[in-house]
Amino acid sequence: MGQKEVMRGDMEPRLQPLVRTVLLLQVWLWIGQCLSVHFPNQQSVYVIKGQDLTLQAQIELLDGERVAKVTWGRTAKTSGESLTVAEFPHGASSDGRVAVEQQGAVLKIRGYQAEDGGIYTVTVTDQSGQRRSAQRTVQEYLAVNHVSVMVNVSHGVLHCMEAWGTEPSFSWLHEKVAVTEKVGQVSADGASLHVSGLFCGHFSCVVSNRLGHSSATYTAEPCESTNRSTSVVIVFLLLLLVLVAASLAFLLWRRRWHGHNRRQRLREPYEDDL
């Protein structure tokens, strides 16, 4: 028992530095969780030219902590050049286009232009000097352009393509009427049409977004018009009715003519002298 107590006494001094290290790590991890900043949505933000851009970050602090500084920066996607857009507590920019609100959590830019696009980084510094950052990509909202239709006749599939429009929405027309299941099936993204009926007539793809729409048309072999067939049937029936009426009229006339001649033959010649 005495030997075990001696060994335990020798190990305790060795464990003390390790215990202190673990405790320090826990403290640092706890401190690192005091400040956090992020955007609710990580998807790109699309802004129509001339409209206002608003970016809002969520800053989380422990009770009693406060934000000392918030910096909004932008990095151009093409050139990679970085610059400071706005800072809190300094407030608005000199030209009046840029402003920060809600203690730096909200950035507003009036009259968005193409050069305002890029990767925006918000960096938050608390009173103890800790810094946390979050990023959001901003791009200009572009109209649909250069719509075209490619066709795979052997498989009866039409593909609609668009150059660079933002959030394109696809729809299909056949002979200027929205396609039905009788004509074909549209893919889940709307960009393809699998023709199940006759591959004929005019197939149009219409691509649209918030700025307008554009279309392209593929022309196949002409379809037999149902209206034309119906017209031919109607004309045939009318001609048939005319022929029947003419035949009946001829028969009636012939019957009356024969009856008149018969009455004349029944009269005797001497009856005229009486």
Highest mean pLDDT among 131-135, 225-229, 234-238: 131-135
At residue 180, the pLDDT reads 94
3-state helix, strand, coil in the chain (%, to 5): 30, 35, 35
Q: Looking at residues 155-172, what average pLDDT do you find?
A: 96
84-110 pLDDT, tens per residue?
Answer: 999 998 766 667 899 999 999 999 999
For residue 108, give both structure tokens. 């507003």
Task: Give the residue, 157 or 3, on which the prediction is more confident.
Answer: 157
Task: Give the residue, 271 or 144, on which the prediction is more confident.
Answer: 144
For residue 236, give both structure tokens. 């045939």
For residue 152, give both structure tokens. 């795979």
**Which residues are CB-neighbours of 85 under 8 A, at least 6 positions away?**
72, 73, 74, 93, 98, 107, 109, 120
Over the chain, what is the mean pLDDT?
83
Q: Looking at residues 48-72, what average pLDDT do you find?
A: 92
pLDDT(6) > 50: no
At residue 45, the pLDDT reads 97
At residue 28, the pLDDT reads 47
Angle at 53 between CA 47 and CA 56, to 5 degrees: 120
